[in-house]
């Protein structure tokens, strides 16, 4: 038997033995169960009876059938900050260099509970008027655990108030010059979990009754102004039209230096004298 044939037989027998000893891996999760904000570590390990086999092992990790870490020498997969959307089925797949077509798998399911809900920001009372005391309320629902939460109010992206509390809501008193875009952020004290509310635009104005009164008076004022302008326009138009219809006055004739009042009349009677 030639050397090449012997080597081929040895390689074949080694592959058969390796495949026969290729047991299923074990997938562990730490911490278990995880919670929101935790760093999760998946470890894919092989049984102790396989440690004597000097084979190169390749590991791959997937979530719900989609690969999240391709084949490589790392038998660990980490998630830096857990959130509810990382919940699902995770699988580790192991293959050997001597038998690349033969793989072994192990799966586990994790569920990450939400610590608190996305905060909501609202103003009370809802009407923004002069002289009134308005408050911004940041509220959230504590779903799991009772760790103190940090409430942060932001105006136009800048922090205006920060407080640590075990309550599910906080209040920020506003003044008349506090118009702007407000948001609130709720986070854990270790900053592992942060959630921000929607943006609420605050614009202070006059009292609602004053606005309604102004809204009622404004059309009347416009009507009076319009009537006055129309009357003035018609007067001007009437004067122009009258001037155009009247004929020009006749020219004044030059008078004689002797006026009518200067004329006088005399009577002369002639008497015939007889001789």
Residue spans per domain, the chain: 19-110, 120-202
* Whole-angstrom Cα Rg for the chain: 51
Q: What is the pLDDT of residue 210?
A: 43
pLDDT tens across 136-188, in order?
Answer: 899 999 888 767 899 999 999 999 888 888 777 788 887 777 889 999 999 99
Q: Confidence class of residue 117 from pLDDT cuts 50, 70 and 90?
A: very high
Could you name the CATH architecture of 120-202?
Sandwich (2.60)
Residue 53, classified by CB atoms within 10 Å of its CB into exposed (0-12), middle (13-18) or buried (19+), is middle
Q: What percent of the chain has pLDDT over 90?
A: 39
Q: Which of 54-58, 61-65, 130-134, 211-215 is modeled with the greatest confidence? A: 61-65
Give the CA diameter of the chain: 213
Segment 80-101 shows an average pLDDT of: 91
Look at residue 16 and tell me whether its pLDDT is greater than 80. no
Segment 63-92 shows an average pLDDT of: 96
Q: What is the pLDDT of residue 223?
A: 79
Of the candidates 63, 64, 50, the one whose C-alpha atom is nearest the C-alpha of residue 18 is: 50
Q: Is the pTM of this model over 0.85?
A: no
pLDDT tens across 226-274, in order?
Answer: 777 877 777 776 666 555 555 666 665 555 554 455 555 555 555 555 5
Could you name the CATH architecture of 19-110?
Sandwich (2.60)
Of the candidates 40, 48, 54, 159, the one whose C-alpha atom is nearest the C-alpha of residue 96 is: 54
Q: Would you say the CATH fold of 120-202 matches that of 19-110? A: yes
């Amino acid at each position: 038997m030639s050397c090449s044939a012997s080597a081929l037989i040895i390689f074949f027998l080694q592959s058969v033995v390796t495949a026969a000893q290729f047991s299923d891996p074990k997938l562990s999760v730490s911490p278990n169960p995880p919670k929101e904000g935790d760093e999760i570590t998946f470890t894919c390990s092989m049984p102790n009876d396989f440690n004597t086999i000097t084979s190169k092992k390749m590991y791959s990790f997937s979530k719900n059938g989609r690969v999240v870490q391709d084949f490589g020498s790392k038998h660990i997969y980490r998630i830096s900050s857990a959130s509810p959307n990382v919940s699902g089925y995770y699988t580790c797949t192991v293959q050997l260099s001597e038998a690349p077509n033969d793989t072994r798998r192990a799966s586990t399911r994790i569920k990450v509970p939400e610590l608190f809900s996305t905060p909501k920001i609202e103003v009370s009372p809802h009407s923004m008027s002069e002289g009134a005391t308005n408050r911004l309320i940041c509220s959230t629902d504590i779903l799991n655990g009772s760790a103190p939460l940090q409430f942060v109010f932001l105006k136009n992206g800048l922090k205006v108030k920060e407080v640590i509390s075990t309550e599910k809501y906080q209040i920020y008193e506003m003044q008349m010059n506090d118009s702007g875009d407000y948001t609130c952020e709720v986070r854990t004290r270790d900053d592992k979990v942060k959630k921000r509310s929607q943006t609420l635009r605050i614009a202070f104005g006059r009292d609602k009754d004053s606005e309604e009164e102004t809204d009622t008076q404004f059309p009347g004022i416009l009507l009076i102004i319009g009537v006055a302008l129309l009357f003035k326009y018609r007067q001007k138009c009437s004067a122009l039209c009258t001037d155009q219809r009247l004929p020009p006055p006749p020219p004044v004739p030059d008078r004689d230096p002797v006026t009518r009042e200067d004329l006088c009349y005399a009577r002369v009677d002639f008497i015939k004298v007889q001789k």
